[in-house]
Structure 1
């Protein structure tokens, strides 16, 4: 396991249009800060993680457990057991084997999707562990993915990002380096072709040199571009709304939709980031819900209320009937009004600035300064103060 401490400069003007939450409690990106807007739970997310019991909803998914231990002594006074859950359900011909690995600190679903005929696979939306209290980066989650890849004998052909995440740091670049050494070839990191809009915007806001973000992704997908995973056919689907560059990936009868839809009791993602648009999100959601009933939708996150475990997928039919924001009777006007009002009360994601600075670099670390340190920049929240 490797670690990195990043130092935060003490002075930097606030970035226009970005809000930094000062709360020390973890409020997931897709949930509101005000208690009246939270998803049915008064407990903190950390408490939920420690108190959850096996839910009957999860028993039908044949979930196995892949556990890694690590210490969070700087945050908690004891070692904790981190369990990454993944599916080993039997698959049919021309359908992938899917391992859904949940990273509980950020509520993120990571996926390894493999062709059972060839053992060739892709990794979708992997997480780099980051402790904002100590500025320490570790690779616990990424190393668990690598161990699973090795255990199953997979050959990773691509690493796929659905968008430039604002709630967790990506481990794509780290995984690429490790897999290049173990496989003998470099799996390209792919994302949607509109990522350069996002990179340019946030590169300027954080004062990053252009060569740190321009051209760092190996593959920029066109809308509806097809590619292969072994002998399986996959397609990149443009799903704007949460962010303008947002993609989903359809592999067999499965769509990995990133932050477009969440579990039905949570609904949809926020649209108040630069380039986000509630009308576009409604249209993207309807595109997904227009697929065949049996197609499985695998979200990028789950923030389960107290009493249920994280659930990795729902069928299109169930999402269409149950999604609290997009069930069939909801009109576009009603959705846009609801989403706009809801987003108005959201705080900024806890790891917003750290995530964006790493993710527009495709997970590469900031270059070393003359001091030998690698630095991230955080805007101060001054509430009108100035001197």
Structure 2
């Protein structure tokens, strides 16, 4: 039986190349928000809500009911607006259960104290591989998809798969695997698992960096990815893929916001606790990378 079609609207953040999604069950007008962006200007150390405002305007204009706020992983290139949206709509926030391993890893990197919890309590639900849930009348399930990060998961909602930073659009290839906890061999195996979904499954990516200046795009299919993805179309072996990925990753700079974003996103999208003057401060590990 074919999966039911979900209605998907993408919201593109030009600064970071990130795509955030509102996924709607048309039969119930219930929706999920996936990977929402909380804008951050690093030159002024100031947060703002342009992306949040675009999503809430869309949801409110349509009269949608927010049923889930879903993170695919703790992002390295933007702050998560999950907490802000959870407060606005009263919807539960979820992420994959392996986020606790990411929290432990970055707790060591930042040298956070014992008051920094690493048990995932910052979210309302931690999904395990294979776990199912409902979005209105749509069936949804979770696939653990590590490699880019330890905690990366794919949400399959109806006929749509939200693959975060595992696959990009076919002309851009696949995600890097050199962040702390990343692994190119694990990424290859996660990609193969995604490509085992039915050919017509719609693939929605977490980023698009607009190669050659083309318009931003974020939707393809499993069949298109298998046939035309620049890193996969020649059917590389696992070892060939790992060699390509590791060689390419060695040339890439860190994302500009990574060291700021991870201490917010491993808290579920919360700023560090304010100090005695009422201000929050970010902590940057020097000479770590």
TM-score normalised according to structure 2 size: 0.95
Q: What does 1:228-243 correspond to in 2, within 5 Å?
A: 228-243=134-149
Equivalent in the alignment of 2:228: 322
| Shift, 1:382, TM fit | 9.8
Q: Pick from 106, 124, 141: which aligns with 1:202? A: 106
Equivalent in the alignment of 1:156: 66
Q: Counterparts of 1:294 and 1:95 in 2: how far apart (Å)?
A: 11
Q: Deviations over 1:21-62 (max 9, x none)?
A: xxxxxxxxxxxxxxxxxxxxxxxxxxxxxxxxxxxxxxxxxx
| Shift, 1:381, TM fit | 4.3
| Shift, 1:306, TM fit | 2.8
Equivalent in the alignment of 2:281: 375
CA contact (8 A) 1:282 1:332 kept: yes
SS at match of 1:306: helix
CA contact (8 A) 2:10 2:22 kept: yes
CA contact (8 A) 1:285 1:326 kept: no
CA contact (8 A) 1:98 1:113 kept: yes
Q: What does 1:176-187 correspond to in 2, within 5 Å?
A: 176-179=86-89, 186-187=90-91
SS at match of 2:94: strand
Structure 1: runs of 5 or more not aligned: 1-91, 180-185
* Counterparts in 2 of 1:209 and 1:154: CA distance versus 1, 3 Å: farther
Q: Deviations over 1:273-300 (max 9, x none)?
A: 1221111111111111222211111000
Give the alignment's Cα RMSD to 1 decimal.
1.7
Equivalent in the alignment of 1:338: 244
CA contact (8 A) 1:213 1:360 kept: no
* Counterparts in 2 of 1:120 and 1:337: CA distance versus 1, 3 Å: same
Q: What does 1:81-100 correspond to in 2, within 5 Å?
A: 94-100=4-10
Q: Pick from 267, 273, 295: which aligns with 2:179? A: 273
| Shift, 1:329, TM fit | 2.2
CA contact (8 A) 2:146 2:187 kept: yes
| Structure ID, larger Rg | 1
Q: Counterparts of 1:329 and 1:173 in 2: how far apart (Å)?
A: 41
Q: What does 1:341-380 correspond to in 2, within 5 Å?
A: 341-380=247-286
Q: What does 1:14-163 correspond to in 2, within 5 Å?
A: 94-163=4-73
CA contact (8 A) 1:320 1:328 kept: no
Equivalent in the alignment of 1:245: 151
CA contact (8 A) 1:239 1:260 kept: yes
Q: Does 1:169 align with 2:92?
A: no
Q: Counterparts of 1:113 and 1:382 in 2: how far apart (Å)?
A: 38
Q: Counterparts of 1:93 and 1:346 in 2: how far apart (Å)?
A: 38
SS at match of 2:194: helix
* Counterparts in 2 of 1:196 and 1:124: CA distance versus 1, 3 Å: same
Q: Counterparts of 2:288 and 2:190 in 1: how far apart (Å)?
A: 37
Q: Counterparts of 1:138 and 1:376 in 2: how far apart (Å)?
A: 16
Structure 2: runs of 5 or more not aligned: none
| Shift, 1:201, TM fit | 1.5
Q: Counterparts of 1:110 and 1:210 in 2: how far apart (Å)?
A: 33
| Shift, 1:104, TM fit | 0.8
Task: Answer 1 or 2: higher relative contact order, Cα 8 Å, separation at least 6.
Answer: 1
SS at match of 1:374: coil
Equivalent in the alignment of 2:210: 304
